[in-house]
Amino acid sequence: MSEKLLNTGFKREVAKLPGAQRVMSCYLCGTCTAGCPVAEVDAGFNPRGIIQKVLLGFEDELLHSADLWKCVQCHNCVAHCPQDARLADVIRALRGLAVSRGIVTEEFAARVQNIDAQYQLERLDSINRAMEQYGR
């Protein structure tokens, strides 16, 4: 990526967004990546890398990245972050920014939300069926 595309003030802009106020407290320890269920199945998905890109100013790359939408908003990263940087909420704020800038449509964002809801229902259904096998 060309340095010309870096926006070193991006982190301050992001820190003004609802939920993302603590973004600059991150010290890049990587605990979020270690406990992320998406990173477990997708080696290319790196929560620490997402917040690092915010801090370094890779605004354009980040807002166009599919990674923003791969996150399932489970908040594991929030629960375990030693700095309370609230990465899941930062990702949600970045999604809102991508929509408001017309990089993706509101329909796309709603579709991702529906996929997540559907996934949770299917998971619940599978667990209930598995429990039935044990007579529970």
* Residues that bind ligand SF4 in the complex, under the rule CB under 6 A: 26-32, 36-38, 47-48, 51, 71-77, 81-83, 85, 87-88
Distance CA 34, CA 136 (A): 33
Which lies closer to ligand SF4 via its Cβ, residue 49 or residue 59? 49
Q: Least distance in Å: CB of 36 to ligand SF4?
A: 3
8 A C-beta contact, residue 32 and residue 48: yes
Q: Least distance in Å: CB of 30 to ligand SF4?
A: 5
Coil, helix or strand at residue 63:
helix
CA angle 41, 72, 35 (to 5 degrees): 55
CA angle 90, 12, 98 (to 5 degrees): 50
Which lies closer to ligand SF4 via its Cβ, residue 87 or residue 98? 87
Which lies closer to ligand SF4 via its Cβ, residue 20 or residue 88? 88
Which lies closer to ligand SF4 via its Cβ, residue 65 or residue 73? 73
